[in-house]
Structure formats: structure tokens, C-alpha cells
């Protein structure tokens, strides 16, 4: 399991990130602790992490529930990222926190995505409502001339939510939802201010993104550390004219506190882990 982690502190995670930079991949560092009662501790960790980043080729991933949806803390982190020219990816939440997530992340992206693609919202395309939400957000950002940047994932809470009625229960429906979002943004006529990160280990979605990029280069790609490494190395060679195109998600933290994160990742990628 350690092959999927960047270490138990941010110095080790940054060292892992530097190794990926040598392969022309951009690291996304995530302090993968999800204890909502530890928001001040998590806030300090993110501040120290961002200050320690050696250059603006690194990005940060933040889970709003880990800071108890504290808007001031989120803005402090975003302000420091903006100062360091570091992109901020905001990870998705479970269904209980989805409404809070939608409201807060839209507020942040509206405030900060005025001059460039800075904050990236995450859409979990296994949700029944995600494609509609994606389309509405796209139109809203287009209306107010904001930069629209996001990360598309399939979903991270299947094991705990598949009986709740808010998710697709067939894999093909999730795949169709994911790929349709890609086609919608491609055909939106708002591609000049759009950047979409396809965070997926699904070969068809990745290759669809490569194909669409031949006409309009709006898709970037991301994979988890230790997952589909060889495939994305090859994809990076295909896109060697754009070194920004491949990101690597690097989680780190005290191992005993990362259990909730690791369990979710295990179930999210169980098919891939079986293959490995």
C-alpha cells in the first residue's frame, strides 16, 4: 500500500513530487487526513506545506470537510496558493456534505478564477445529478466570463453510498456520464477559458481526451501515485509538447490517520488493484 503514498510528512511528499517533475509530470500534493475535529492542525499543515513548495510546478489538493468547511481557512489557503502561483484542487465530498461543497466551492471559484484557471472544482460523475450540475456551472461561468476549471472523477464513496439512490448503479452509466461531460465542454464554445483535468484510470476516457485535444487542447490528465504509471508515462510521451498535461496525485500524512482515505481509495480502485 505504501507505493500509493508520498510518505508521512510533506518533505517526503515533495521529494516524491520532484521525482515526478523529472518525468515531466506535475505533482498534486494532498494532506490526506479527514478528521474534521482537527481543522486548525490541518490548516497549519497546509500553510507549512505550501510555503515549503520549491516552485509553482506543484499543485495542492484540499478537502473542505477536513477544515470543517471554514471559509476563512479556505481563503487563507487559497490566498497563499495564489501568492505562490500554485493551483488549488478542491476534492469532492460524500453525499451528506455535497450541498455544502457545491455552495462553498462555487463561491471560491467565482471569487478566484477571474484572471486564470486557479481553483479546480471536482465533479463525481457517478452521481445522478453531476452532469446537470456540470452543465449549469459551465453556463454560469460563461455568463459571467469566469475561468472554468475542474477535475472529473468517477467517484470516491461508492462503497458507503451505492444504496442511497443518488448514484448510478451500473458502471456503463457512470462511464457515459463522464464521457458526456467531456463532449459537452468540448462543444461548449467556451474553451478559451476552460481547463479540465481528467482524473481517471479508464483507458477509453483518457484516449477520448487525447483525441479531442488534437483539435482543442483543453484536457489535462491525472493519475494516482502508483496507479497506471506505465500507461501515463506513454501518454506523457505522446503529449511531450505540453509538459503540463499529466498530473500525479500524491497523498501523504501520518499513516495511522490515513486509514479513512486509504479505505476509500481501495474501494474506488478495486478493479485496478485486482489487475495489478
Tens digit of each residue's pLDDT (9 = 90 or more) over 196-254: 999 998 999 999 999 999 999 999 999 999 888 888 888 877 655 454 589 999 999 99
**Facing residues of 194 across strands?**
148
Cell of 148: 472554468
Residue among 199, 250, 255 at smallest CA distance from 225: 250
User: ∠ CA(185), CA(227), CA(156), 5° rounding?
Assistant: 60
Candidates 11, 97, 25; CA nearest to 54 is: 11
Cell of 57: 510546478
User: What integer best gives the mean pLDDT of the chain?
Assistant: 90
Nearest to 234 by CA among 246, 217, 250, 219: 246
| Pick from 11-15, 39-43, 202-206, 265-269: least confident | 265-269
What does the pLDDT look like over 89-122, one tens digit per residue?
Answer: 999 999 999 999 999 999 999 999 999 999 999 9
How far apart are the C-alpha atoms of 10 and 252, rounded to whole Å? 7
7 CA to centre of own chain = 19
Q: Is the pTM for the entire model greater than 0.85?
A: yes
Residue 97: per-residue pLDDT: 96
**Distances, alpha carbon 99 to alpha carbons 94, 148, 168, in Å:** 10, 20, 18
H helix runs in 118-202, sequence order: 130-143, 158-161, 171-186
Inter-residue contact 100 to 93 (CB < 8 Å): yes
The number of domains in the chain is: 1
- In angstroms, the Cα distances linking 142 to 51, 88, 185, 188, 219 are 33, 21, 11, 9, 18
Domain limits for position 115: 2-275
Lowest mean pLDDT among 4-13, 30-39, 86-95: 30-39
CB-CB contact of 138 with 185 (8 Å) = yes
**23 with 242: CB under 8 angstroms?**
no
- List the CATH number of the domain containing 167: 3.20.20.220
Amino acid at each position: 500500500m505504501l507505493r500509493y503514498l508520498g510518505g508521512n510528512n510533506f518533505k517526503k511528499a515533495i521529494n516524491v513530487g520532484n521525482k515526478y517533475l523529472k518525468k515531466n509530470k506535475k505533482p498534486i500534493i494532498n494532506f490526506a487526513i479527514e478528521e474534521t475535529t482537527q481543522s486548525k492542525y490541518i490548516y497549519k499543515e497546509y500553510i507549512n506545506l505550501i510555503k515549503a513548495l520549491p516552485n509553482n510546478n506543484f499543485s495542492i489538493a484540499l478537502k473542505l470537510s477536513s477544515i470543517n468547511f471554514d471559509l476563512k481557512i479556505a481563503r487563507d489557503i487559497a490566498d497563499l496558493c495564489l501568492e505562490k502561483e500554485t493551483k488549488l484542487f478542491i476534492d469532492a465530498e460524500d453525499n451528506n456534505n455535497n450541498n455544502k461543497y457545491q455552495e462553498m466551492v462555487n463561491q471560491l471559484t467565482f471569487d478566484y478564477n477571474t484572471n486564470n484557471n486557479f481553483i479546480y472544482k471536482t465533479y463525481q460523475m457517478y452521481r445522478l445529478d453531476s452532469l446537470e450540475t456540470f452543465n449549469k456551472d459551465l453556463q454560469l461561468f460563461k455568463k459571467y466570463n469566469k475561468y472554468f476549471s475542474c477535475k472529473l472523477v468517477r467517484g470516491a464513496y461508492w462503497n458507503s453510498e451505492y444504496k442511497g439512490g443518488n448514484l448510478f448503479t451500473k458502471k456503463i452509466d457512470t462511464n457515459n456520464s463522464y464521457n458526456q461531460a467531456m463532449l459537452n465542454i468540448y462543444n461548449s464554445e467556451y474553451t478559451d477559458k476552460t481547463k479540465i483535468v481528467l482524473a481517471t484510470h479508464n483507458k477509453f476516457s483518457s484516449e477520448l481526451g487525447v483525441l479531442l485535444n488534437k483539435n482543442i487542447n483543453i484536457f489535462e490528465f491525472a493519475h494516482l501515485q502508483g496507479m497506471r504509471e506505465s500507461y501515463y508515462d506513454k501518454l506523457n510521451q505522446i503529449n511531450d509538447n505540453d509538459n503540463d498535461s499529466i498530473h500525479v496525485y500524491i497523498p501523504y500524512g501520518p499513516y495511522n490517520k490515513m486509514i479513512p482515505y486509504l479505505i476509500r481509495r481501495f474501494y474506488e480502485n478495486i478493479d485496478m488493484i485486482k489487475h495489478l
